[in-house]
Amino acid sequence: MKLFVILFVWALTISSSIVYDPSPLQDICVAIAEPKNAVSVNEKFCKNPNLTVVDDFLYQGLNIPGDTNNKLGSKVTPVTVDQLPGINTLGISLARIDFAPYGLNPPHIHPHGTEFLIVVEGLYVGFVLSNQLGNRLITKVLKPGDVFVFPIGMIHFQLNVGKTNAVAFAGLSSQNPGVITIANALFGAKPPINPDVLTKAFQVDKDVTSYLQSQFWCDNN
Report whether 105 belongs to an annotated binding site.
yes
Q: What is the pLDDT of residue 43?
A: 67
Residue type, 19: V
Q: How many CB atoms lie within 10 A of CB 42?
A: 18
- Span 133-138, mean pLDDT? 97
Nearest 5°: the CA angle 179, 208, 158 is 30
Residue (of 149, 156, 167, 171) closest to 103 by Cα position: 167
Q: Are 99 and 137 in contact (CB under 8 A)?
A: no
User: pLDDT tens digit string along 19-56?
Assistant: 456 655 456 777 777 666 666 666 678 888 899 999 99
| 3-state secondary structure (DSSP) of residue 141 | strand
Give the containing element (helix H, strand E) for 186: helix 182-187
Q: Is the pLDDT assigned to residue 96 strictly greater than 90? A: yes
Q: What is the pLDDT of residue 7?
A: 36
Report whether 156 belongs to an annotated binding site.
yes
Report whether 34 belongs to an annotated binding site.
no
- 46's CB contacts (< 8 A; 6+ apart) are 26, 29, 30, 31, 32, 38, 39, 40, 88, 89
Cis peptide before 191 (omega within 30 of 0): yes
Q: What is the pLDDT of residue 15?
A: 43
Residue (of 179, 131, 132) closest to 157 by Cα position: 179
Q: Are 150 and 106 in contact (CB under 8 A)?
A: no
Q: Is the pLDDT assigned to residue 67 strictly greater than 60? A: yes
Q: How far apart are CA 145 and CA 122, in angstroms?
A: 9
pTM of the predicted structure, to 2 decimals: 0.83
